Amino acid sequence: MKFRKSLLAAAALVFGLATVSAQAADTVRVGLVVKSLGNGFFEAARDGAMEAAKELGNAEVIYTGPTSTTAEGQIESINALMAQHVDAIAVSANDPDALAPILKRAMQRGIKVISWDSGVAQDARIVHLNPSSNALIGAMCIKLAADVAGQDGGKLAILSATPTSSNQNIWIDEMKKVLPDYSQLDLIDTVYGDDLADKSYRETVALLKKYPDLKVIVAPTSVGIVAAAQAVEDQGQVGKVYVTGLGLPSELAGHVDAGSVKSFAIWNPIDLGYSAMMIAYKLTQDPKETQFIEVGRMGPISFDADGNGAMSDPFIYDASNVHKFAKIF
């Protein structure tokens, strides 16, 4: 009798372990690969991804990326995720082509790969989530520049991230498409701060010295816009040169108060991380559904024949609302 009870107890223990193992196996693990760690934009995106994981219940976010904006650093992060046998990878790429070979290998192993914010080569991911329409982003950046330049207009320079950042290059191309509609603006230079605060600062100072009659700097990067605003203030150019582009309210509220920034735009990075996580998860459940994907509180997002989708329109922040949103992100 005791032997029978021991067998039953052992069986129950084995069954219990099997149940725990099954539950663990059911957890969907998504690697969220960002351009660089320590960037406020991506930390907000991480928070959104964590929100999505909590809402889903059986999902886990592995937040990772390099310390500097290099493709090599992201490749190391992706290799580590592959070694951990994650179910999906959602990447904001530093280089669309350099990451392609390793992401293709990840897909060959059954890992669902998406890009978000900054895309990768089409054959190296299933879908790409743009934070907004590229055309709308480019048009918004030029509209903001025209607004701060006023009727007289003036010379315009662009401070971008890295020369290989796919989203930055696409947005700059879209800016150039609408520039003919703003004859008062004269684009004179495009420089690159590599999404590093110190280099972006130095590039801005160099622009101010090279072009004494510069009127507006557009920085479609959350790191660059802050560095540019600080440089304008430090160089005593407030009221003469204005900075605009894409940035975070929490990082720009003080510069709006200082006058180096009148207005800027951004989508909510929390929503972006939330959406990327939701899409990656949904593809692990139904990999064939790539045209319309339900994204929780963000609603359905549609993807075109090339797998490109857009989350939402950019939103303008200025002195009337920046402090309210600065408390959020």
CATH code: domain of residue 76: 3.40.50.2300
* Residue 86, in any domain of the structure: yes
* Residue 326, in any domain of the structure: no
* Residue 2, in any domain of the structure: no
Q: How far is CA 234 from CA 64, 144, 204, 226, in A?
A: 34, 23, 11, 12
CB 242 within 8 A of CB 262: yes
Give the pLDDT band of residue 162 (cuts 50, 70, 90). Answer: very high
Same-domain pairing of 105 and 180: no
* Residue 52, in any domain of the structure: yes
Q: What is the pLDDT of residues 39-67, one digit of tens each?
A: 999 999 999 999 999 999 999 999 999 99
Same-domain pairing of 280 and 261: no
* Residue 32, in any domain of the structure: yes
Distance between first and last Cα of the chain: 65
Number of H helices, E strands in the chain: 11, 14
Same-domain pairing of 36 and 21: yes
Same-domain pairing of 304 and 220: no
Tokens found for residue 92: 């904001």
* Residue 98, in any domain of the structure: yes
* Residue 324, in any domain of the structure: no
Same-domain pairing of 198 and 77: no
Tell me the backbone φ, ψ of residue 191, rounded to 5 degrees: -125, 165
Question: How many domains does the chain fold into?
Answer: 2
- Mean per-residue pLDDT, 213-224: 97
**Could you list the residue range(s) of the whole structural domain that residue 147 is in?**
134-266
pLDDT at 253 over 70: yes
pLDDT at 70 over 60: yes
Q: Which amino acid is at 37?
A: L
Same-domain pairing of 246 and 273: no
Same-domain pairing of 12 and 113: yes
Tokens found for residue 202: 């130095």
Same-domain pairing of 88 and 118: yes
Taking the model in full, what pTM does it have?
A: 0.82
Share above pLDDT 90 across residues of the chain, in percent, rounded to a whole number: 89
